[in-house]
Structure 1
Amino acid sequence: MTDATTPDATTLADRAIVRLSGEDVRGFLQGLVTNDVTGALPVWAALLSPQGKALFDFLVWADGEDLLLDCEAVQAEALARRLTLYRLRRAITIARDDGLAVHWSRDGDQGVPDPRLAALGRRWIAPPGAPAHGWVAHRLSLGVAEGVTELGNAETLWLECNARELNGVSFVKGCYVGQENTARMNYRSKVNRRLVVAPLGEAGARTRATYPELGLMVEHRRVEDLGDALKPAWLSEAVAG
């Protein structure tokens, strides 16, 4: 039986792959998402509402001429449908690829460092195997939020998801959905709230997710009221500025 200490126990069972293949898929996605997908991959990116609020977040990988979106398994079909709305008459196929899975290791030499934060560990795409253990606890210990439960569905502005600090946005690429508000917030330094990880307490209006087994929760707090939130170096530097 494979356990958490076995090198093969690396599959993130809560993730899935959506494959984009066909005519100029990089150009297609470039005009929709927050990060630059025309250069080196993987990158962390999001599809936003026109108001600049997070709908889906994912990592974008290259597979030859295709693109692979490393996304939440529970959101994979919804993400594929949303992207299909923008496809129009382009000869592009957008579908979940169950022959591949997302793999993670806290250390080692497989894969590449997570583009959000190297301390998150290493990540790669391969056929599915035994499930990994410890990913959520490790991610939260570093103050990193992801997914619809924590980010919300059109509830949180992308920069409030710490996208600037975690390399989830390009301010030099061309237009994308939700760019106007995102760029305005950046240039005016108007990120008044942040998604943060904090010790588990009484849930309130700003609580997004609770993890009783880990003694942690994710909240959407004002910058001046971060209180007992975990403040890793990347977040401390951001709010100090």
Structure 2
Amino acid sequence: MEPRAALLGGRSVLRISGRDARSFLQGLVTNDVEALKQGEGRFAALLTPQGKILFDFFVTPDGDALLIDCNASQAADLAKRLGFYRLRADVRIANESASLAVAAFRETPPPAQALAFTDPRHEGMGWRVIGAPDELDRLGVVAGLDDAYAAHRIALGVPEGGADFAYGDTFPHEANMDLVHGVDFKKGCYIGQEVVSRVEHRGTARKRIVRVGFSGPAPGVGMEISAGDLPVGQMGSSAGQEGLALVRLDRFAEAMGPITAGAVALTYLGGGR
């Protein structure tokens, strides 16, 4: 059964506070966070100067502060990286992963008093809630549903960093961030903006994450995808008989023979453009 309220064990929470918190983050990340209202959330990324994704995360207000819902394995590094850019800004960066957790709600919205926002990546992803573990328990959040949550995400074609693309080696368009509302092309400058804007205006994204189907055991994450002897991409996460794959769109579309990951034949289910 798909989770209605699933504890997302692989997430951590950072708090950005201080007088300059919003303007500080606004000048760094791919999305517009300065105009965020309580109960809203944005999906965004912090890039290298060359425009590749270092970290991706959600941002939502908590009073005058901003909370960052990020990959737990990256929380310490993200806090450290943000600290590099702080300089003289009135900003405090705190890792609150010991006191706050993240949950995903499906179908039924969370109670009004919860610190919650609609997952902006896809309307089928429901709501994300940040709260103390005991508070999430009272809201009926259940642990151990990560696989069911991942299956739902994969079925909707929503990529996840570290599973479907490599941090530090992937451009936002390749990770479909422009398609899942992770980039604001009208906001002011941020790190890596020139590269991202150039790809958008020229329409030159050669790689995209697409949905694929297969029979039998799932190909492993990172397994090379080939059309005959021609490499066309790499496999990402899978659930059931579906998965996500980062592929070269031209090679994938022009493949004359079967497309395989190892010995597993793949079929195209949608995505990319």
Do they fold alike, i.e. is TM over 0.5?
A: yes
Following the alignment from structure 2 to structure 1, what is the Cα–Cα distance between the partners of residues 89 and 66? 15
Contact 1:144/1:197 (<8 A) preserved:
no
Following the alignment from structure 2 to structure 1, what is the Cα–Cα distance between the partners of residues 144 and 128? 12
Matched, 1:131 2:136: no
1:197-227, Cα deviation, whole Å (9 max, x unpaired):
423347217325344x634443220123167
How high is the TM-score relative to the length of structure 1? 0.86
Matched, 1:86 2:92: no
How many residue pairs get aligned? The number is: 229
Single out whichever of 79-88 and 191-200 deviates more from structure 2.
191-200
Matched, 1:58 2:57: yes
Counterpart of 2:224, as a letter, is: G
- Once superposed, what is the RMSD of the aligned Cα atoms? 2.2
Give the 3 Å change call, closer, same or farther, for CA 194–172 of structure 1 in structure 2. same
1:91-137, Cα deviation, whole Å (9 max, x unpaired):
32212112111111221021432111111122121112442512111
Following the alignment from structure 1 to structure 2, what is the Cα–Cα distance between the partners of residues 80 and 194? 29
Single out whichever of 131-140 and 19-28 deviates more from structure 2.
131-140
Counterpart of 1:72, as a letter, is: N
Partner residue of 1:207?
234
Following the alignment from structure 1 to structure 2, what is the Cα–Cα distance between the partners of residues 80 and 218? 29
Matched, 1:149 2:163: yes
Deviation at 1:154, TM superposition (A): 1.4
Q: 4+ runs of 1 displaced by more than 6 Å?
A: none
SS at match of 2:209: strand
**Structure 2 unaligned regions, length at least 5:** 111-115, 226-232, 254-258, 260-266
Contact 1:185/1:191 (<8 A) preserved:
yes
Following the alignment from structure 1 to structure 2, what is the Cα–Cα distance between the partners of residues 74 and 160? 22
Deviation at 1:196, TM superposition (A): 2.6
Residue 191 of structure 1 is aligned with which of 205, 208, 217? Answer: 205
Single out whichever of 125-134 and 196-205 deviates more from structure 2.
196-205
How high is the TM-score relative to the length of structure 2? 0.77
Matched, 1:18 2:14: yes
Give the 3 Å change call, closer, same or farther, for CA 135–92 of structure 1 in structure 2. same
Following the alignment from structure 1 to structure 2, what is the Cα–Cα distance between the partners of residues 19 and 132? 26
Larger helix fraction of residues: 1
Which has the greater radius of gyration? 2
